[in-house]
Structure 1
Amino acid sequence: MKIYFARHGQTDWNILGKVQGTTDIPLNENGIAQAQLLCKNLEDRDISFEKIYTSYQARAVKTAQIIDEHFHTGYEIVRGLEEMNLGLFEGHTWDEILSLYDEEHKLWLSNKRYNCTPDGESYQMVMERLFKALDYILGQHNTSSDRDLLIISHGAVIMTLLAMKRNIPFEESHTIEVDNASPIEFSIEELKDIRTRL
């Protein structure tokens, strides 16, 4: 079994460069088209998954629904897969954040893994809740199966996994690109290894 993570399709706030976090912004028309293209991408790569799991946020749920309409595997909303809570940064562009919350931003950047955004989460907190969600998800399946799982989540959540997988410090996490509606593969062994380093 492999676990494929995919970020939801595009939203209007993605285009505007606004930080979304827990703010529940729906997919735009392009985001819906991206989710439909993700179906084709999965089909072309012959990825056969047993079930879809998704964050509860509207942009992720809609992405999961579009994929389920194509593959008919069923989907389940699981707490812990939602986007990082970015607190006071949400609703602002990064330029606005630097202007409004310069000191708070500097403090966060000084130790991005463990420092929280103002009124928000740290990346460590995101990883801990993510792995609780993964414990639940993997507990529903035979992990030695040759059928995979698809998890629809968010940019910061997937970025934490990629940073840990590639041993990239969180202070350099801005170098990691997580495209909308593009599958990213993890083996069970890779996820187990990341867990040991939480």
Structure 2
Amino acid sequence: MLELILVRHGETDSNKKGTYLGWTDVELNERGLRQARGARDRLKGTRVDGIYCSPLKRASKTAEIINENFNVALKPSDALKERNFGIWDDLTYNEIISGFPEQHALWVEDHINYCVEGGESTIQAYRRITEFIDQLLCHSQGTFIIVTHMGCVRKIISYLLGMKIEDSWRFSVDNCGISKIIINDEKYAYLTLLNG
């Protein structure tokens, strides 16, 4: 059996502003640091076999704080980065609409396959993330924490539950929200906690 504990990173100033934050590498703000300590405290007493994280500062710092409970080697993976929003990165929705009206129209028309300049499409990010999960499923048993980003948490949950990629937007994932999925020996996944 495999248990995945999915944690979104703590708040950043960009999150507070409501931007599409992808690969822009920003730090946690003070509230984000408090949220990370809160996640650490909520996970205390959990038996953990490893912690994977996005190498972006907001996720790696959250993982570092959570790891104060466990003192295991953190395993950063580029596969756990948020979607790369390219030239839209760290812009608000309104800034995208006003600054890139033609590209925005193409994205609205096909938000799964459209690739913004300098970035990646939803399907490209989905494949990157799910390949990582497939490798973890093949080689691991035990309990693993994955500290990553909202888009990644959504994609992991929808993938493991056999949902369409289009439905991954239906999950609310707060900063330092914790979700848990158990995958049994037959590779059947159960969502036991969402955004706790």
Task: Name the TM-score class by shorter chain.
Answer: 0.7 to 0.9
Equivalent residues of 2:129, 2:156 under 8 A apart: no
CA contact (8 A) 1:79 1:133 kept: no
Residue identity in the other structure for 1:76: K
Aligned mates of 1:64, 1:38 — CA distance in 2: 10
Please tell me the residue identity of whatever aligns with 1:23: T
1:32 to partner: Cα distance: 0.8
Any residues of structure 2 matched to 1:139-154 within 5 Å, and which?
141=140, 143=141, 147-154=142-149
Displacement of 1:174 in angstroms is: 4.5
CA shift at 1:177, angstroms? 1.5
Equivalent residues in 2 for 1:107-118 (5 A)?
107-118=106-117
Map of 1:43-58 to 2, 5 A cutoff?
Answer: 43=44, 47-58=46-57
User: For residues 106-136 of structure 1, what are the alpha-carbon distances to aligned partners after superposition, in whole Å with 9 as ceiling and x for unaligned?
Assistant: 2112222222233211121112111332344
Q: Map of 1:123-162 to 2, 5 A cutoff?
A: 123-138=122-137, 141=140, 143=141, 147-162=142-157
- Name the structure 1 match of 2:42: 41
Q: TM-score of the superposition, structure 1-length normalised?
A: 0.83
The percent of aligned pairs where both chains have the same amino acid is: 30
Q: Specify the alignment match of 1:22 in structure 2.
A: 23
Contact 1:50 1:149 in 2 (8 A): yes
Structure 1 contact 123–160 (Cα < 8 Å) conserved: no
For the 8 Å contact 2:5–2:144, the answer to whether it is kept is yes
Q: Report what 1:96 is aligned to.
A: 95
Corresponding position of 2:75? 76
Comparing 120-129 and 159-168, the one that deviates more: 159-168
Aligned to 1:6: 7
Cα 1:68–1:140, aligned 2, differ >3 Å: closer, same or farther?
A: farther
Deviation at 1:155, TM superposition (A): 1.0
Deviations 1:62-84 (A, max 9, x none): 01111112222231111210010
| Structure 2 unmatched runs, 5+ | 190-196
- Equivalent residue, structure 1, for 2:179: 184
